[in-house]
Amino acid sequence: MGINSPFSSTLRSSLIRHHLAFPKFALAIFAILLPGKALMLTINPEPSSFSEAQGIIGTIEGDVAGAQCGGWDWDKPVLPHIAISTGLPGRDGSPLDHKPANMALRVEGGGVIDGPVANTGFKWPSTFGYTSACRPGWPPFYEAHPCQRPAGPDAGFIGPKIFKPPSIGCTFGGGVCGPDPLGNGVGWTCDALCEDLNRRWLYDQYAVYCLFPGPPPFWADTGTRINTICYDPDTQPVPAPPVPPPGCFVGYLETHYCCTNSPVGGPFPNCKSCSDDECRQELPSPGSPYKSYFRHYFGSCTRATVAAAPQDDADRIGVPVACYGLYNEYDPKLTVSGFFDRHCTIANTYPGRNHDYVDMPRTQVTDFNIAEYGQRLYGTDWPDPPSGDYQIVRNPGFNSNIDLWYPNISGGFSLINGKVFDDVYKNEFTFAIMAPDNTEFKSYPQLTEEQVFSSGAYMRAFDDTVNNDRFGRRTIAEWWQDLETESNKLFSPPHVRLILPPSWATGMDPLDPFFSPDMPDPFNPKQPSDPRMEPIEVQLEVKEDLLGEVAAYLERSLILRLQEEAVPVLIPQGSATEFRAKAQAWCAWHIASTGANNCENVGGDLGDLLTKLEAYADRLDDVRKMRGELARYEAWILEDQRDIIQTIANWLKANIDEYNAYQTSVQNLQFLKSLWQGTQRMYRTFHDKSNFPWCMSQSFTTSIYSMLDDFFWMPGRPDLTGCIDGAPSNAFNCLPRFKTDLIPDAVLDFSLIRTATGAIQLPVLKPVQVSLARYNLDPPSGRKAAQIPKLPDLPAIPTIYNDVINGLPDLVIEDPPTTIGTFIPTAIPGVDPNIYYRAFGVVSGMNSAYQKFWDSLRLDPAAVTDGTEEDCIFPDTIPCVHVEMDLTERFVRMCSRPAVFLEEDFDKEVIGRPIDEYIIDFDECPGTEDPRPQYQWNWACQPLNQEKYQTQRGWGLRSPYEKEQMEFISEFRRGMFEQTLLRDGVPEDDKLKFKVEPNDITPSFEAQGTTKVIFDTYTSSSSSSAGP
Amino acid sequence: MMPMRHFIFGTILLSLSVIPLALHAQTPVGADVCQEKINQELALEHRFFRSVIFGQKKAEDALVGEVRYDFFGNVWYKVDDDDWRSVGEGISPGDSRGDTAVDGASPIPPRKGLLETQRVSTSELVPFIGQSLRALQCRLDIICDAVRKSIQQTTDAPVNIIADSYACLEVSRQTIPECHLLKGATETQDQRTAVETYCEEIAQQLMHQEAAVMNMTVEYDASYRTMLQLAGNFDLFLQEFRSPIVNSIRQMVNLVGLFNRVPCFLSSCDGSPPPDTTK
């Protein structure tokens, strides 16, 4: 249903060969565009045996024949080619009155005038059969499926009359009446059953005679009748006469038929043959009314042959149809057909009658000399593309001696004219670049009836749920399209697409491994995969651990950049040994001058001097402590860096956790996907094989509602809506449906990532070591009086680390970028697997039903034993699978026309409105011709995932403004200058005396400003920057 | 990248720091003070030459930490905006000068250096650099000529003289009183010789040093300007091509990503793989 399709293979070949995009006629046609292996016709080029070679030849013939399907014959009306069925019960259709559904409008008026389906269009044909007042189970040998073959020789059939043991009727057949007299499953022909019913289901009737007092007393018939029980003379003894009342006796009167209570030999036997209307009417009898248990028809279907299929096998005349079982009159649309209702055999396998369909794959092919298949544009004289006429000659005036380019080679590109390039341009490629060729594109024409270019027209799908009450609706087709739509959404989980910064962007390291993906390992190559199934990211070599790489890249890129800024500091330089030597010299002078023994307890200026000299010797090296300054505040910087990395790590972890959860849910989808794949595979089997036994078009045929009940695949029967207009449901009486949301693709835009711009300027003490003035510290020789020099205290060791730490820019980590959790859900929506289980059940049952239908008609007469053509060993078993109430419709379907599109196939109501608009919103489906969702109406809508951007978020490192940093550094420079050299406010005597004048030390404190390499101009005219 | 200018200035200033440059307002005479005066005059020429080559910013544009010299050889250190301090002789640490005063007291006016000339190649600057070197040489020679002529003076006051050198313009100037060695007739021939040869020797060394520095500077500047030129052009290239080409490629990648989603014909969109055989 849904997509029955007339012409798969042919259009496949023609469309592909000729590059014509035929409008979307029907979903059926889509199926023929299977890619890859589906289009490959595979044979074994080296058969190992002759029989295998023969088989391959057959395969090739089948492939060739299968390719000859389709085409169109624009001017031929459809109506003559929709078969008319006669000789069978059922309803006719009005083929062209239900075009929007692509089916016939069932005639639901007129027909039989009595019975349960009176005046509903049900027609009763000429027939004959057997009718009985008995009912299955009474007599016991009368079963629910009473007989397996129409009749024996007495009724004009070929085979013998077959009795079921222990009927003594076996003798009539002349054979042994075993459990299966013929060994082929048939236990009872219908005429033998009738005979048995009349012979074996009787009772005896006795009259009661009593003595009347008289006078004179006499025995007289009291008028009372006593019957024996019904008995089977073949298996039971004749019942004993009944016990008379006291004083009476009984006398045998006559034998009666049990079911009609009428005397044997009278007009009301238990069973009798019927004809025409007798076989559908319940004829009265003295007992139970008659009801036929077997009917026999000669059905015919006939239509005009399709000219484009010269061998079109267009009709079947007088095909015997045998229906077994009690006649049950009902409307299959309104009543569910049960197991015992599929009890008719369409006997198209009689030898010599040519009723079979064995040759249909060969005969129903299209002659493409007659039918069009795109070889020329309808209504025009345009030739078959590809044709030279469609080659774009862009420059008819091309001169090979002048023009640089050959513009006319294939319409799409040009080659350079070597002659001109050599002679005129002297092979200077620059000229070729400066004088490029231009090009233009032109599409091939495409065919529709009214539009020369395809705009997406389509043909509505075939569907047996089409009915007059819901005009234009096709339950199964719409349900399937809805399921395709929602499944497409379900199995289109969002992709994560990264937009990365170009490697050359400012601050990027082009050698970062992030921009240099791993080289493929030749010894461990990647597993080949179907590129169609791969997300585009894989094709771009973006792997699953992409986020990890991004994070690592960020960590590498966002390391704080430090720029050293020298802070000169004046450091006194001297030798501890020298100061101690001078102290010793002054001590010696003291001893010599005063006669003291030592310099202990020396006070006064000399004592101060000795103490200071010792202190200088001891403390001069303390300046080395300044080495520790840098480490102290660099530790703070590292802590800031740690905070940065930690934040990135946290962000990464959040991403990974969310992504893992998401991936897990995607993995879980695989199970559902496998269910869905199985359902789709089954649907294709149905569409391409089961319901497409040969090249045929079932359009405009009448719905066969009983097909919906085989295997009970259609939920909610006899309802035909499947609840598809209600909310999605998995209720048992509804077609399983669900609704899900299409989650947008996530686009993480990292293209604006910027690494650190500028740097953190870090003050670094730069000692300017100047020797202390030591030449004034020597004592006089001998005992000369001396002016004791006064040494100032050594100043404290300058320290800046506290101030640096306090003054370093604070690390402000702003809100981290959003994680992928804001783009994609932690877990994508799932669906109850039971929905897919049930969908598979529906499609599988549908496939089986149609498979059974067509298989019963494709039997090879050669494989059918003569005499068994009309057998019905069991109901609902091939060939006995047809429902009696819609035999007419089945014959119409059986005689479907070849798959050549005819005039009305292109009718607007059938093709539908072309979709000539495109939708900006990705999650909507186009079309406004019906208020219902469009995808439920005409096609499966497969929208694109939206893309969700969140731009301009990411990581970046923003250093403090340079001016602020320079002020920060200047503070230290100023401080060190004032503290160690200027020493404003310090008495002159307390200042250290250096070997050179302070004025000469000052230049060593100079800190040059930085040189701007790139100027802050709109365009980067670096070349004009200052020199070094 | 440490600009070359930093390197050169740092080196020179450190080397000068060991040269006694103290200026004396009065005129004690003697070989020592004469040599010190010679140092001062040569150092001034040296700074002047450097300012010609590398330029000298106005005091108000100088950063904290930069230094300037006044006419008397005092070094002024910028400690803040419009605030300069000096530890020169006779200057109190608390004395402050503003930017204008520093500029006004500087014997070297603010100017733009030859190497600060933009949009030219180094080759175009070489003649001017060479001419500046030649000027330096003349000015150094003239100082030494003035020294020679000063030695012969006997007065306390400076004497107007014409100092000259071969192939250089003559300069009218005054003698250097600190070098008036004949004034007290106490000098020895050794002292005279020491003063005369000192000036020439120091001047020659300074010339050789500056010539070498200029040699290195020109090489550096040439390579630097070449690199900047290339970088600038490449930068321009990227700026110009980023939008039309790179953006197009990125959009194409994005579009290709979308293609992955484009619905195809129904059957080929089936999740189920196509059957293995057509039969």
Phi/psi for A589 (5° steps) reads -60, -40
Could you tell me if A859 and A535 are in contact, meaning their C-beta atoms sit under 8 angstroms apart?
no
A330 touches B: beta carbon within 8 Å: no
Q: Is residue B50 part of a domain?
A: yes
Q: Is residue A760 part of a domain?
A: no
Same domain, A164 and A105: yes
Q: What is the 3-state secondary structure (H, E, C) of B242-269?
A: HHHHHHHHHHHHHHHHHHCCCCCCCHHH
Same domain, A186 and A236: no
**Which of 10-39 (A) contact B at CB < 8 A?**
27, 30-38
Same domain, A193 and A211: no
Q: Is residue A673 part of a domain?
A: no
Same domain, A284 and A430: no
Query: Mind telling me how many Å the CA of A642 is from chain B's nearest CA?
Result: 27
Confidence of residue A257 (pLDDT cuts 50, 70, 90): very high
Could you tell me if A871 and A880 are in contact, meaning their C-beta atoms sit under 8 angstroms apart?
yes
Name chain A contacts of B229, Cβ cutoff 8 Å. Answer: 1022-1023
DSSP letter assigned to residue A112: -
Rounded distance between C-alpha atoms, residue A627 and residue A635, angstroms: 14
Q: Is residue A243 part of a domain?
A: yes
Rounded distance between C-alpha atoms, residue A756 and residue B149, angstroms: 62
Confidence of residue A512 (pLDDT cuts 50, 70, 90): low
Same domain, A192 and A206: no
pLDDT of A266 above 70: yes
Q: Is residue A878 part of a domain?
A: yes
Same domain, A213 and A350: no
Q: Is residue B52 part of a domain?
A: yes
Mean pLDDT for chain A overall: 79
A880-908 pLDDT per residue, tens: 999 999 999 999 999 999 988 888 887 76
Q: What is the mean pLDDT of residues A666-685?
A: 89
A824: CB partners within 8 A, 6+ apart = A493, A494, A496, A658, A662, A743, A746
CB contact under 8 A, A1006 and B66: yes
Task: State both tokens at A1012.
Answer: 């701007």
Q: What is the mean pLDDT of residues A238-265?
A: 93
Could you tell me if A899 and A696 are in contact, meaning their C-beta atoms sit under 8 angstroms apart?
yes
Q: Find the Cα–Cα–Cα–Cα dihedral A321, A325, A328, A331, rounded to 10°.
A: -50
Rounded distance between C-alpha atoms, residue A849 and residue A843, angstroms: 10
Name chain B contacts of A31, Cβ cutoff 8 Å. Answer: 266-267
Same domain, A295 and A425: no
CB contact under 8 A, A998 and B87: yes
pLDDT of A356 above 80: yes
Full residue range of the structural domain in which residue A226 is found:
202-257
pLDDT of A404 above 90: no
Could you tell me if B73 and B25 are in contact, meaning their C-beta atoms sit under 8 angstroms apart?
no
CB contact under 8 A, A31 and B73: no
Full residue range of the structural domain in which residue B203 is found:
4-57+110-226
pLDDT of A453 above 60: no
Q: Is residue A877 part of a domain?
A: yes
Could you tell me if A967 and A764 are in contact, meaning their C-beta atoms sit under 8 angstroms apart?
no
Same domain, A104 and A136: yes
Query: Mind telling me how many Å the CA of A751 is from chain B's nearest CA?
Result: 10
Q: Is residue A1020 part of a domain?
A: no
Q: Is residue B131 part of a domain?
A: yes
pLDDT of residue A187: 86
Same domain, A208 and A351: no
Same domain, A246 and A185: no
A748-779 pLDDT per residue, tens: 666 655 555 667 888 888 889 898 887 778 88
pLDDT of A19 above 50: no
Could you tell me if A38 and B270 are in contact, meaning their C-beta atoms sit under 8 angstroms apart?
no
What's the domain count of chain B? 1
A541 touches B: beta carbon within 8 Å: no
Task: State both tokens at A268.
Answer: 């009301």
Could you tell me if A31 and B272 are in contact, meaning their C-beta atoms sit under 8 angstroms apart?
no
pLDDT of A40 above 80: no
pLDDT of residue A841: 96
Query: Mind telling me how many Å the CA of A815 is from chain B's nearest CA?
Result: 28
Kindly identify which residue of chain B lies nearest to residue A994, measuring between CA atoms.
B18
DSSP letter assigned to residue A494: P
Please tell me the number of Cα atoms within 13 Å of B222 on its side-chain side.
Answer: 11
Confidence of residue A11 (pLDDT cuts 50, 70, 90): very low
Q: Is residue B63 part of a domain?
A: no
Which of A438-447, A990-999, B101-110 is most confident?
B101-110
pLDDT of residue A321: 95
Q: Is residue A148 part of a domain?
A: yes
A320: CB partners within 8 A, 6+ apart = A296, A297, A298, A346, A347, A350, A869, A870
Same domain, A143 and A209: no
Q: What is the mean pLDDT of residues A553-566?
A: 75
CB contact under 8 A, A492 and B261: yes
Distance of CA B232 to the CA centre of its chain: 25
- DSSP string for residues in A633-656: HHHHHHHHHHHHHHHHHHHHHHHH
CB contact under 8 A, B256 and A1005: no
> Mutating which of A60, A685, A965, A1002 best tests the B interface, going by the most B Cβ atoms within 10 A?
A1002
Name chain B contacts of A1011, Cβ cutoff 8 Å. Answer: 3, 5
Considering CB atoms only, which of A62, A540, A977 is closest to B77? A977
Name chain B contacts of A540, Cβ cutoff 8 Å. Answer: 253
pLDDT of residue A1017: 40
Q: What is the mean pLDDT of residues A208-215?
A: 87
3-state secondary structure of A251: strand
Q: Is residue B174 part of a domain?
A: yes
What beta strand segments (E) does A659-799 contain?
745-749, 754-757, 760-771
Rounded distance between C-alpha atoms, residue A721 and residue A737, angstroms: 13
pLDDT tens sequence for chain B (279 residues) = 334 434 333 333 333 333 333 343 456 778 888 998 999 999 999 999 999 999 999 999 998 899 999 988 899 999 999 999 999 888 888 889 999 999 999 999 999 999 988 888 899 999 999 999 999 999 999 999 999 999 888 888 899 999 999 889 999 999 999 898 887 666 677 777 888 889 999 999 999 999 999 999 999 999 988 888 888 777 777 666 666 666 666 666 666 666 655 544 333 344 444 444 433
Rounded distance between C-alpha atoms, residue B254 and residue B251, angstroms: 5
CB contact under 8 A, A1000 and B17: yes
pLDDT of A455 above 80: no
Q: What is the mean pLDDT of residues A258-275?
A: 94
Q: What is the mean pLDDT of residues A514-528?
A: 56
Q: Which residue has the higher pLDDT, A451 or A472?
A: A472
What's the domain count of chain A? 3
Considering CB atoms only, which of B115, B239, B260 is closest to A1019? B239
Same domain, A159 and A291: yes
Q: Is residue B220 part of a domain?
A: yes
Q: Which residue has the higher pLDDT, A790 or B274?
A: A790
Phi/psi for A841 (5° steps) reads -60, -40
Q: What is the mean pLDDT of residues A174-178?
A: 62
CB contact under 8 A, A1006 and B9: yes
The residue to which tokens 């705009």 are assigned: A455
Best CA proximity match to A65, nearest among A538, A527, A695, A665: A695
Q: Is residue A852 part of a domain?
A: no
Q: Is residue B252 part of a domain?
A: no
CB contact under 8 A, B93 and A1020: no
Could you tell me if A1011 and B5 are in contact, meaning their C-beta atoms sit under 8 angstroms apart?
yes
Distance of CA A996 to the CA centre of its chain: 88
Last residue of a domain, one of A378, A412, A434: A434
Task: State both tokens at A105.
Answer: 């409008």
Task: State both tokens at B246.
Answer: 């790179």
pLDDT of residue A642: 83
Q: Is residue B160 part of a domain?
A: yes
